[in-house]
Amino acid sequence: MARLMELDSRGELTTAHVRLVASALGVSLRTVWSWVAVARREGRLSARTPTRVSVSADVRARLAVWGGNVAAVHRELLAEAVKAGVADSVPSLRALQRAVREDLSVGERAGLRGGEAARRRYDVYGKRPSTHRNACWEGDHKRIPVRVVLDGAVVCPWVTWFIDVASKVIVGVAVTPHQPARDAVLAALRAGISRQEPYGPFGGLPGRVRVDRGKDFLSKAVSRALGAFAVPVDDLPAYKPYRKGTVEALNGAVEEMLLVSLPGYTRRARPAEAYRADPVEDLLPYPDFVKVLLDWVAWWNTEHRPAGLTGGRTPAQAWEADPAPVEDVPEDRLAFFALEDDGRIRKITTNGVSWRHRAYIADWMAGHVGTRVRLRYLPHFDGRIEVFSTEGWGRHLGSAYLAEAATPAQRRALSRVRESRARALKADLKAAEKLRRTRYTATTTAAAPGRRRTETASEAEAEIVRAQAVDLAARALPDLIPPRDPPAGWARPRPRPGTAVPADTTDTEPGSGSRE
């Protein structure tokens, strides 16, 4: 229309121009002539924009409160307008719904209903450029939703692993029967860097490692271990799993391909009846589960063909086809990769080496009493320590073991005692919570609810008396052990006038005389 009006202003507009525009836009000749007439009369070159309702900041806040329910927001706005006497100021429900559809994206509406996780499903994520092998590793913890048996108890293990981004090879794996700590991270890194049996042939020194803000990955031990090899650790923002999508995809793949088929899987679809866990005798022992998981890792590396690899290659084939050199680390430098040093100097005594108020001994210590040494240890494990000399970086002298370790029978008995105490405390706390919490009857009208249990006056008085009887302050006995008499050489205070003198007091001190 701007071109047609430019021609019209110069007197050059013809029917041929109008017919050409109508043919290009797929409209009739008469329609274009009507547009020209409107432009001459009103100066408007486009269609009139109809007035519509827009979503204000207040409406967005109300949508967040009501979880994206537009009808509930409309009812609330209408009720407030009726109360204020301006009911006509509220748009219709259809107009408000149309405004929400036009002003808010699909992702924003999903976020109002399901939160941030639902909104992310409608985001567009870029893809990182292709790199070579060992250019970057990604690491993460994953809780395994499978119940396994360990020492008679049922646990859900955790796996800590690292995957090479370029070739999709799982380079290092560590499994723990509980929530992992920095020792699991160091063990997985140690397995990933080493290419000797039983870890190889994949691994080597990575260019960088990407992790989330887990405190285990960002601990000083991990930073010091990787910093010794000049490997930077990328601390990615929290709650953004798409920033390390390779390992997150691995977390989902292991559950869909392996864990769902194992006995004891806790997320299996079940009938509508009450949930019944698999019996303990049907669960896998912990060592068997670790073997199954490691076998699946080997299958992933050598047989599986991830969609992210070109040519339908397996991770092992992609690793071998990559011409990038692999930087190996000598095994003698990795022997103590995962060990920590508290920095203290100790001496070997006739009882061995003392660490954390415990004695550690070894046969090689004979003849070395009095030698000054430094200790290094695996985090969260105190069954064995490594002893080094104090010169320079320290020469490894040998391993030392706990001198008085408990027998398996003693550990089992101690575990039973601790469990019984925990159950007793849980029962006491549950009973106390039941007494403390006041429960009310259900109501069907806007009225104050009544108490479900009413105590009598005698019951209340009896419980108060019982509580006072066990008061710790009342049970204190400060005079249970009487104080001893002071030594004879101490000067004693003179008694006040009118105070009776103890029978055992004698007037043998210098300067004392009869008061008669």
Give the pLDDT band of residue 184 (cuts 50, 70, 90). confident
pLDDT tens digits along 364-405: 888 889 999 999 887 777 888 889 888 866 788 888 888 888
For the cut 50, the answer to whether the pLDDT of residue 511 exceeds it is no
For the cut 60, the answer to whether the pLDDT of residue 187 exceeds it is yes
Dihedral (CA of 186, 141, 155, 428) sign: positive
Model pLDDT, residue 470: 60
Give the pLDDT band of residue 61 (cuts 50, 70, 90). very high
Model pLDDT, residue 477: 64
Tell me the C-alpha distance between 169 and 223, whole Å: 23
Length of the chain: 516
Q: Identify the three-state secondary structure at position 509.
A: coil
Number of separate helices (H) and strands (E) present in the chain: 17, 15
Share of the chain above pLDDT 90, in %: 34
Q: Check residues 516 and 441 and name the one with the higher pLDDT.
A: 441
Tell me the C-alpha distance between 99 and 496, whole Å: 94
Tell me the C-alpha distance between 315 and 237, whole Å: 28
pTM over 0.85: no
Tell me the C-alpha distance between 158 and 364, whole Å: 37
Share of the chain above pLDDT 70, in %: 92
Give Cα separations from 314 to 131, 165, 251, 301, 322 (angstroms). Answer: 17, 14, 18, 7, 12
Tell me the C-alpha distance between 79 and 55, whole Å: 18
For the cut 70, the answer to whether the pLDDT of residue 226 exceeds it is yes
Give the pLDDT band of residue 435 (cuts 50, 70, 90). confident
Model pLDDT, residue 515: 41
| Average pLDDT over every residue of 61-75 | 93
Looking up tokens 């104080």, which residue turns up? 483
For the cut 90, the answer to whether the pLDDT of residue 504 exceeds it is no
Nearest to 196 by CA among 339, 335, 377: 335
| Average pLDDT over every residue of 180-189 | 86
Report the range out of 295-304, 363-372, 472-481 with the highest average pLDDT.
Answer: 295-304
Model pLDDT, residue 478: 62
Model pLDDT, residue 337: 75
For the cut 50, the answer to whether the pLDDT of residue 509 exceeds it is no
Give the pLDDT band of residue 514 (cuts 50, 70, 90). very low
HSE-CB for 194 with a 13 A CA cutoff: 19
pLDDT tens digits along 230-286: 889 888 887 778 888 899 999 999 999 999 999 989 888 777 666 677 777 788 999
Model pLDDT, residue 137: 93
Model pLDDT, residue 120: 86
Tell me the C-alpha distance between 6 and 47, whole Å: 18
Contact between 184 and 160 under an 8 Å Cβ cutoff? The reply is: yes
Q: What is the mean pLDDT of the chain?
A: 84
Give the pLDDT band of residue 497 (cuts 50, 70, 90). confident
Give the pLDDT band of residue 72 (cuts 50, 70, 90). very high
| Peptide bond connecting 287 to the previous residue in cis, omega within 30 degrees of 0 | no
Q: Check residues 289 and 125 and name the one with the higher pLDDT.
A: 289
| Average pLDDT over every residue of 446-459 | 77
DSSP calls for 295-330: HHHHHHHHT---TTSGGG--HHHHHHH--S------
Helix 2-9 to helix 15-25 angle (10° resolution) is: 180
| Average pLDDT over every residue of 303-319 | 90
Model pLDDT, residue 508: 46
Between 40-54, 169-183, 271-285, the lowest mean confidence (pLDDT) is in 271-285
What are the tokens at 184? 């699991």
Contacts of 151 (CB under 8 A, 6+ apart): 412, 415
Model pLDDT, residue 512: 44
Model pLDDT, residue 198: 76
